[in-house]
Structure 1
Amino acid sequence: MTSETIIQVENLSKLYRLGTIGTGSLRQDLQRWWYTNILQKEDPFFQTAREKDISNDFLWALRDISFDVKEGEAFAIIGRNGAGKSTLLKILSKVIRPTQGIVRGRGRINSLLEIGTGFHDELTGRENIYLNGHFLGMTRHEIRSKFDEIVAFSGVSQFIDTPVKRYSSGMYVRLAFAVAAHLEPDILIVDEVLAVGDAEFQKKCLGKMNEASRQEGRTILFVSHNMQAVTNLCHRAMLLQKGTMVTIGPSSQVVNQYLGGIQQHQLQQQWDAPEKAPGNATIRMKSVQLIPLRSNVTAPIDVRTQLTLEFEFWNYEEDIDLVTGIHLFTQSSECIFDVSSKSFRYKKGLIKGKCTIPGNFLNDGSYYISIIFVRDTSVEVFYLNECVSFDVEDYRENIHWYGKWMGYVRPDFPVILTSVPSL
């Protein structure tokens, strides 16, 4: 391990046997303990499970993970739920042991894996601050020097001498993060702290982590589903998928690869034969696709991206007066808009349609589109429900607030401020 490396992980794996604590046998559990703790050999349970790799009785939470983190680096671990992110952080925090592999590290570690990790419910906020400090190996004088700063950051000064079991979840996590961030660990491990708390608290958390990494030279391991926070805070990122490492590199590149993968959803559908296509005796669909205007196919769809819906359908009725409507919904089925074509008479044959949603219009979130066909501006002919679905990611240039932007739309209307000369 080089002098610049503060964490080094080699061939790390974690295996669980589903529905069973331990191996299910006292003799085998004692054997595992003897082999791994006394003889320092490979876990015999691991060898057996590896031979039964396809068995449904076993789950690889992590498999053959290798990476290193430099001193003073902010390093992100991203991936879908169940990818193994929290398991990895628990191993690095020494909460659980790996099945196989080596973890090397140096320095004091403070982990915020859950709300109030290390807190005792019966103790007051004041007592828990000192307790956590002692866990980190800090002296009473060191803790006392940081005490006022911790309390001010947490915003719970009025309740500092109240048992934390009486705190709300927001107060609890405020104090927990304040303690974790201010007691000067060499390595700060943070798992989804931004999933709780209000926008102002999230802003303070990110600002403190940024300060700890860039100004104070402390190492941060960060897990979050807020990709904007990841790209702004972290130097590098690692993408996990079902317990294996997909890629590791600069955070912006890894985030783009991750978003590009999860954003596919259902951007297009195509039917080769009319008899297999959705529709009826009047209209049958041929194709529908949503085309994002972006620099490359791996770039994510974000609030700046222009989206074009193109569709084709067969019309089987001669001289039909037809209007086509585009309905955009959130994933919770709230309609964002309903736009339609002009009334027009069409002959039999293939008809193409197109609608463009400009960039800097939609807010971040998940959406789907449905298409309605109406005869004589009043009679529904066919409704193609949820034909495409997509995610829009956040993007904020030179903005250091990461709370949720309000509203379903986010138009780029100019807001102009002018100084008024004093009298």
Structure 2
Amino acid sequence: MTPAARLSAAIELIETIDAQRVPAAKALKEWGTAHRFAGSGDRAAIAGLIWDVLRRRASSAWIMDADTPRARLLGMLKLERGMDADAIANLCHGERFAPEPLSAAERAALTSRTLDEAPPHIAGDYPEWLDPHLAKVFGDDRVAEATAMASRAPLDLRVNTLKSSRDKVLPRLLHLGTEPTPWSSIGLRIELGADARNPGIHAEEDFIKGAIEVQDEGSQLAALLSGAKPGEQVIDLCAGAGGKTLALAAMMQGKGRLIATDHDKRQLAPIYERLSRAGIHNADVRAPKGDADPLADIRASADLVLIDAPCTGTGTWRRNPDAKWRMRPGALEVRLKDQSEVLDRAAALVKPGGRIAYVTCSVLPAENGDQIRGFVGRHSEFSVVPPEQTASVLWDKAEAFAAAALESPEGWLMTPRRTGTDGFFVSVLKKA
């Protein structure tokens, strides 16, 4: 397919997503099935266009002064891809599956309109109802922070130190353009262009043998900031597919007791194979059975309980750009209730002197600092470990991290703009 034909296909797909209200991933999959002639490069390029339009949906429509699939695509090409009106016109010539030529109004919009007068939620590309929440945490920087959350994320890997080291793995993955991550000493990063396909990590020998896992650097740092140590009893209370469980196991060096559970046993399905591939032998996966508590035998005995809390996922908008447009205020209220409940559950599991590490992939204060203040108000035996103390686990990177991340009395907030990671909040609480 020509670049122009890819634009036409993208417009068609956006029309489908709008009309049928289907997730973008589902629409892309169905389109690929119905258009077998499109090669893998074509599918990757079209997917890149769709995700970029979703990332810059509001600002693109503003630039074009029209909220249609075509207008959003044209506006995105200017804002996200940096193309001027002439370059866009060269693709929109109306011949051989290319989009129709630019109208006079479209060329004028591409030439003259800017985001200078756009409201913050338009310039930052997020739902208007979220503006007070983002203003509370970022203030006048919220447009810049949200714009960074609308960029494409790199592909980050975590080296499994139970099987290898970053110095050994890095040379074997240089053919993928791999570089060390800036903060995590066990992380690797692959930067991806707008049209780039995700590399076949799952086919790499290091992945097959369990030496690497796909994990955003922010998620790696969240595990590191928990301070899990060899010999401790550690509970991953919302383990899901096991990403942080694996990271905790490596930190524990195979020593101690690691328990992984989740309220939804379906979320735990991938964890068993991942633990086996990673060579982890001290982990006990406890799936819920009926109404029985899988942790009924544990009372005030854990050194560390990690809560990878259910949240709105606002910190992952780079990877899930259509999720932010489907998000509704009611979803936040549900998550706040879930978070309070899981924090209260964790309190009963921690021994005196033990810790809770509360983690979200959200940037919203209601899910982060507000939750921690509410928890301490309900459980006076817990206090927040000073954030600068938790950052000491990053060793020589601690000072630079503290300067980059957003610190509050309750913990650390990482963002794409500040730390180059997904948005993550981390708070560590200690029981008296």
TM-score by length of 2: 0.25
> Which structure has more strand as a fraction of its residues?
1
TM-score by length of 1: 0.26
